Amino acid sequence: MIPMVNLKAQYVEIKDEVERGLAETIENCAFILGPNVQAFEKEAASYLGVKHAIGVASGTDALHLALIAEGIGAGDEVITSAFTFIATAEAIKYVGAIPVFVDIDPRTFNISPEAIESAITSKTKAIMPVHLFGQPADMTEILQLCEQYQLKLIEDACQSFGASINGKQTGAIGHAGGYSFFPSKNLGAFGDGGLVVTNSDETAAKIKQLRNHGSNVRYYHDVIGYNSRLDEMQAVILRAKLKRIDQYNQGRRHVAHLYSELMADLPLITPYEDGLGVHVYHQYTLLSDRRDAIMQALQDHQIGCAVYYPVPLHQQNVFKEECADISLPVTEHVSTTCFSLPICPFLSDEDIHKIVDIIRGVLKP
């Protein structure tokens, strides 16, 4: 059996460090916003090359709080991709804003800068690109649009911790960026967690207040906030993994490149690296008209595989009424042919060969 992600193998490597840290936390009973959250925020800010990093309860909350802090609210239009996880659009909805879904680049699956520009109206307040599957979106073009049209740039970097473009970390380029530490993400906790980063002192101060019931001083509340803090125990785990994140991402890149090399002669479309930035392969996603047959064969051999994402957001039940007039041909085509293979730093070359042989058996019997 080969799972999509092998979290167990990763745990074995950091077991001693994690167990020591957890035992210490339990011993000290500093469970909320304790020393590990503070240290992790410092270490993450330094790694990401950004002034402020604020731990929150999830990636969804990170995006939600970033939007509030950047002043996005009722009736504002936020341009984003429909080929993403629902949380990107949920965060926009939470603040009363309107997600405006535009099409993607057929090769990178990332939001198309040309499509963004065509969708800008007088109500547009922000662009929220997603660095999908770990590949940086075209930030040079997107930054230029933000400057030209005076828009906020809030990055959904939930799948791209450690990916960079033009020497900058994804998430740390715009006004604010959000990361998720959901266990299967490139930097994953042992539960939920998230992070907001920003270079703005003002935005950072707002996020710190919002995550903690709108309070700067205990029992004095200035705004309606939330209970959305990064958990101290999760911070212990994240600190151990952050030290190794480059090694993990390098491992993912190795897996991806070996897959692509071994499948070069097969009639399917392997992931495209646009060369603009460093792709950290949160997912290894291919396109094939024979997706169903390939996935059936993999399942028969107990090999994990999945479709990210089978239904683009504008076609989800929750959005289909308000998006009735929208058609996104590239997004729609990709969602009917894409599928993802197991990827994690601990997938062996032997397993990769095995997976490719099964796919070869379907496509070139």
Residue ranges binding ligand PLP (CB under 6 A): 58-60, 84-85, 87-88, 130, 156, 158-159, 180, 182, 192, 194
Least separation in angstroms between CB 284 and ligand PLP: 15
Least separation in angstroms between CB 219 and ligand PLP: 29
Under a CB-based contact definition with an 8 Å cutoff, are residues 148 and 140 in contact? no
Tokens representing residue 175 in the block: 């006004």
What does the alpha-carbon distance between residue 34 and residue 320 come to, in Å, rounded to a whole number? 43
Least separation in angstroms between CB 58 and ligand PLP: 4
90 or 141: CB nearest ligand PLP:
90
104 or 294: CB nearest ligand PLP:
104
Is the CA virtual torsion 233, 234, 236, 237 positive or negative? positive
Least separation in angstroms between CB 159 and ligand PLP: 5
CA distances from 188 to 110, 158, 180, 182 (A): 22, 10, 8, 5
110 or 180: CB nearest ligand PLP:
180
55 or 59: CB nearest ligand PLP:
59
Least separation in angstroms between CB 131 and ligand PLP: 8
| Cα-to-chain-centroid distance, residue 93 | 18
77 or 192: CB nearest ligand PLP:
192
Under a CB-based contact definition with an 8 Å cutoff, are residues 242 and 41 in contact? no
**Which residues lie below 8 Å from residue 281, measured CB to CB, with a gap of 6+?**
133, 134, 249, 252, 253, 255, 256, 271, 343
